[in-house]
């Protein structure tokens, strides 16, 4: 898997809460083009969270395809992800897309890539993008050392990543699923 420059997406699970957060910075080369992009979204009547890293047009294309696959498979996250990644890997146009996605519902978090990866991460946190390592390290530390909710951990971890990664800012979109 190739690390994507230009964003940080983090998914944290704790108890019955699933939180996905993403920064809002869009860069073109060494310039910040936009500070408030929304890279984390709710799909399937708000029951699925998705976040993307990589080229914006590529990510939007994949997001649209994933939403269609969710509808086709009645919201089954694993089946929809499997079909999307199969298309992504085999379709002549889609396989050129450069992006990664995190998708989550109440029970599962998956990391998807154009290399054919569908990974269910271990533990309670997963991240993609240029600031992924920083956000993931912070989230793991908060998970071990505090009783904070998943949404608080996700927000605080992204703020930390934004202070280290030049492609990540603190304009955070946060979506939460809970019972």
Of 7, 8, 50, 168, which one is the catalytic site residue? 7
Q: Whose CA is closest to 10, among 133, 114, 105, 119?
A: 133
Residues across the chain:
179
Is 7 tagged catalytic?
yes
Residues noted as catalytic = 7
């Amino acid at each position: 898997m190739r690390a994507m420059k230009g964003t940080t997406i983090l998914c944290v699970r704790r108890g019955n809460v699933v939180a996905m957060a993403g920064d809002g910075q869009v860069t073109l080369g060494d310039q910040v083009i936009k500070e408030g992009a929304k890279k984390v979204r709710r799909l399937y009547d708000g029951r699925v969270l998705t976040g993307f890293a990589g080229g914006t047009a590529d990510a939007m294309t994949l997001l649209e395809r994933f939403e269609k696959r969710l509808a086709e498979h009645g919201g089954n996250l694993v089946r929809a992800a499997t079909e999307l990644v199969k298309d992504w890997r085999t379709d002549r146009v889609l396989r050129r897309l450069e992006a990664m996605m995190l998708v989550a519902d109440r029970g599962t978090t998956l990391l998807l890539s154009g290399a054919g990866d569908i990974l269910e991460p271990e533990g309670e946190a997963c991240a993609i993008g240029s600031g992924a390592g920083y956000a993931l390290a912070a989230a793991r530390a908060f998970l071990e050392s505090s009783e904070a909710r998943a949404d608080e951990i996700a927000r605080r971890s992204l703020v930390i990543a934004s202070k280290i990664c030049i492609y990540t800012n603190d304009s955070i979109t946060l979506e939460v699923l809970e019972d």
